[in-house]
């Protein structure tokens, strides 16, 4: 099924860290916010990173992200995808990263979460980035069960350096 990204970019003028996934999962599309699957460890990782409780509700997550100047979006604007399976992604249309960075000049680091996001970021967007640190991060998806929470927290520390 061909889908267009339906979640608005979560960003504001103060955002300094932009974290990009691949494309919203079915659960994220249902709750209309990023990392919506209950077993996704994204927000528990961020909570540990900032020595806070992980935000639970969408509103708590938005407040947490704004407080820490974190923006969220995805590498892919449109694609063919079956369910939430990154392995099924085809016919990709990437986001307009140059326009985002022009509109939000305070972004200092871009975090890329997971192998699929890395593949499409490198293929379509990396050459449009200059003077911004790019950090490749492991997926926090429950499908990446081999990574323990402690390992994910350590990997995500690179965003703050």
Beta bridge partners of 98: none
State the pLDDT at residue 17.
98
pLDDT in tens, 18-62: 999 999 999 999 999 999 999 999 999 999 999 999 999 999 999
Give the H/E segment covering residue 14: none
Q: Identify whether the C-beta of residue 1 lies closer than 8 Å to the C-beta of residue 80.
A: yes
Low-confidence ranges of the chain (pLDDT < 50): none
In the sheet where 76-80 sits, what is the strand order? Answer: 2-4, 76-80, 90-94
Q: Identify whether the C-beta of residue 110 lies closer than 8 Å to the C-beta of residue 18.
A: yes
Token output for 139: 């997926």
State the pLDDT at residue 142.
86
Domains in the chain (CATH in brackets) are 2-160 (3.40.470.10)
State the pLDDT at residue 134.
97
């Amino acid at each position: 099924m061909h889908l267009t990204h339906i979640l608005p970019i979560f960003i504001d003028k103060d955002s300094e860290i932009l974290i990009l996934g691949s494309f919203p999962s079915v659960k994220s599309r249902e709750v209309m916010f990023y990392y919506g699957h209950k077993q996704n460890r994204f927000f528990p990782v961020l909570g540990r990173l900032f020595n806070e409780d992980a935000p639970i509700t969408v509103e708590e997550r938005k407040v947490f992200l704004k407080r820490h100047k974190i923006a969220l979006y995805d590498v892919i604007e449109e694609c063919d995808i079956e369910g939430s399976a990154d392995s099924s992604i085809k016919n990709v249309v990437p986001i307009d990263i140059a326009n985002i960075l022009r509109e939000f000049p305070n972004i200092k680091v871009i975090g890329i979460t997971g192998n699929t996001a890395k593949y499409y970021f490198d293929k379509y967007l990396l050459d449009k980035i200059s003077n911004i640190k790019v950090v490749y991060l492991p997926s926090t998806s429950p499908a990446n069960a081999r990574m323990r929470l402690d390992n994910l927290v350590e990997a995500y520390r690179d965003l703050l350096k």
